[in-house]
Amino acid sequence: MEQYQKAARLLDRIERELNSLGLWQSDQPPVEALDSQQPFAMDTLEFHQWLQFIMIPRMWSLIDAKQPLPDSIAVSPMAAHSYRNAIEQHEQLIELVREFDVLLSGTDPLQDDV
């Protein structure tokens, strides 16, 4: 299966997991919150909001346009950090983000942490 198909399947699974955790939002944050210059927009958004409103739409846009996907990505360490106080509840989400990292970059950014 090509990389675009695999990436699309993982994005679907990440979206479903966010929804099952009750983290998927129907209302978009204010535009200025999405314009943050900080990594993961950590000054204006919660991590799950960054996934939903910034990362996921950007990845879908690249997939839909058959544009090159990033080949150096490490989102799972931030996911693990963000949910460190509720790791078991968010374990599936962290694992899906980790699989996405591995698919695109070819390396596991969490391998030293496990």
- One-character DSSP codes across 69-106: PPSS---HHHHHHHTGGGTTTTHHHHHHHHHHHHHHHS
51 inside domain: yes
Note whether residue 30 is domain-resident. no
Instruction: Tell me which H or E stretch contains 20.
Output: helix 3-20
pLDDT at position 112 is: 63
Asked, for residue 88, whether it belongs to a domain, the answer is yes
**CATH code of residue 66:** 1.20.1440.40
pLDDT at 34: 93
- Confirm whether 38 is domain-assigned: no
39 within domain boundaries: no
In this structure, is residue 70 part of a structural domain?
yes
Q: Look at residue 54 and tell me if it is in a domain.
A: yes
As a dihedral over the C-alpha atoms of residue 64, residue 72, residue 33, residue 52, rounded to 10 degrees, the angle is 50
What's the confidence (pLDDT) of residue 114?
46
Please give the Cα distance from 72 to 31 (Å, whole number): 27
- Residue 81: give the domain boundaries: 3-24+44-105
Burial class (CB in 10 A: 0-12, 13-18, 19+), 62: middle
Task: Please state the φ and ψ torsions of residue 74, each to the nearest 5 degrees.
Answer: -145, 80
Predicted structure pTM score:
0.93
| pLDDT tens for the 114 residues of the chain, in order | 599 999 999 999 999 999 999 999 999 999 999 999 999 999 999 999 999 999 999 999 999 999 999 999 999 999 999 999 999 999 999 999 999 999 999 999 998 654
How many domains, in total, are found in the chain?
1
17 lies in a domain? yes
